[in-house]
């Protein structure tokens, strides 16, 4: 009995396509490389030189994904923005500690390599890295037939940053400090399972809804450049990335014991996409604990620094006051109602 001609290609994995994708990434990242003579993309490990001027540096790391936002990208066949989301979800966490993102790695797992789709995703990642002033130094693309159904995929990212010990943002919050909101660009990458559930139950045709097509895949705002400039000038006492859990849960993570962020929800400037979701029958409580509701990032600052910081932001992302720090046993107090 003759043996069958088994090959990796016939099992559903194309090494040739993977190699071609690596060559594409390598050529796409050449202009932004900071690693000098080292070839990172396609190697076994990535080499990155540490900045020379740091005296007492600490490493800050973050890893994340974009959740079920990828299902919306699949449904709309639009993949050029979720790479930006992936970088944003990691680097916006890095800067909360006061760190500058240095490098980024991605992990993409797919049922079958589709070069057009992967190129769009990686171009978004490269753009996100440029917006963050960090380097894409490597990653992994795994073709996994049988694990994902046809056309399905997932992405994850990892970022590393550096911060001087005396610039770490921790335990600097004081009574009477202001809580300042920086607007979000939209949903960012949180709450999409609820959004998709609503869309399914309401029988909404995404492809025929121009508003949702535009809003749902808006990339997450990257706050790195603005926030690092404020840190450099010592204008910040703390900051928080408003992701899953909304305003309350994320601000609570940075407030010291016996102090409280008292937030007036009437001051929150929400966006059209959140009004649309709210009008589908979602309660205020559910909105606030699931979405950023228009606040993508929060700063804790001394009152005298407020006028100093707003000039560092474009009009669309101009910071505004939503609360203050008081003495209280609760770490966050929400008052008023969001004006939808």
pLDDT at 153: 93
Position with higher pLDDT, 33 vs 52: 52
The pLDDT of residue 23: 62
Instruction: Give ranges for CATH 3.30.1330.10 in the chain.
Output: 15-35+54-167
Q: What is the pLDDT of residues 197-211, one digit of tens each?
A: 999 999 999 999 999
pLDDT in tens, 120-135: 999 999 999 999 999 9
Q: Please give the CATH number for the structural domain made up of 178-186+221-335.
A: 3.90.650.10
Is the pLDDT assigned to residue 150 strictly greater than 90?
no
Six token digits for residue 338:
């969001």
Q: Which residues lie across from 140 on neighbouring strands?
A: 107
In which residue ranges of the chain is CATH 3.90.650.10 found? 178-186+221-335
pLDDT digits (tens, 9 = 90+) for 271-302: 999 999 999 999 999 999 999 999 999 999 99
Query: Is the pLDDT assigned to residue 3 strictly greater than 60?
Result: no
Looking at residue 121, its pLDDT comes to 95
Q: Is the pLDDT of residue 224 over 70?
A: yes
User: To 10 degrees, what angle do helices 82-94 and 69-76 make?
Assistant: 160
Class of domain 15-35+54-167: alpha beta
Question: Residue 139 above 70 pLDDT?
Answer: yes
For position 215, what pLDDT does the model report? 98
Pairwise CA distance, residues 198 & 196, whole Å: 5
Supply the pTM of this predicted model: 0.89
What is the model's pLDDT at position 247? 97
């Amino acid at each position: 009995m003759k043996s069958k001609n088994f090959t990796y290609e016939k099992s559903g994995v194309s090494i040739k396509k993977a190699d071609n994708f690596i060559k594409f990434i390598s050529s796409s990242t050449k202009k932004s490389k900071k690693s000098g003579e080292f070839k990172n993309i396609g190697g076994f490990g990535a080499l990155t030189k540490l900045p020379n001027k740091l005296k007492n540096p600490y490493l800050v790391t973050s890893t994340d994904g974009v959740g079920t936002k990828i299902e919306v990208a699949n449904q709309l066949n639009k993949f050029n923005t979720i790479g930006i989301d992936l970088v944003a979800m990691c680097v916006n966490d890095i800067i909360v500690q006061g760190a500058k993102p240095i490098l980024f790695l991605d992990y993409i797992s797919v049922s079958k390599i589709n070069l057009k789709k992967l190129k769009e995703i990686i171009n978004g990642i490269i753009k996100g890295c440029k917006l963050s002033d960090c380097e894409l130094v490597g990653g992994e693309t795994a073709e996994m037939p049988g694990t994902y159904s046809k056309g399905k995929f997932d992405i994850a990212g990892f970022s590393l940053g550096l911060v001087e010990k005396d610039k770490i943002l921790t335990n600097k919050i004081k009574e009477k400090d202001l809580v300042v909101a920086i607007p979000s660009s939209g949903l960012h990458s949180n709450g999409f399972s609820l959004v998709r559930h609503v869309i399914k139950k309401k029988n909404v045709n995404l492809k025929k809804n121009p508003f949702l097509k535009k809003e749902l895949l808006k990339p997450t705002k990257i706050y790195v450049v603005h926030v690092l400039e404020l840190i450099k000038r010592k204008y910040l006492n703390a900051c928080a990335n408003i992701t899953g859990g909304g305003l309350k849960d994320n601000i609570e993570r940075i407030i010291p014991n016996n102090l409280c962020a008292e937030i007036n929800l009437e001051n929150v400037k929400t966006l059209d996409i959140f009004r649309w979701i709210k009008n589908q029958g979602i309660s205020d409580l559910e909105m606030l604990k699931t979405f950023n509701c228009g606040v993508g990032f929060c700063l804790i600052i001394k009152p005298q620094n407020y006028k100093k910081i707003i000039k560092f932001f474009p009009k669309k992302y101009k910071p505004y006051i939503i609360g203050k720090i008081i003495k209280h046993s609760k770490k966050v107090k929400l008052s008023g109602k969001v004006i939808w």
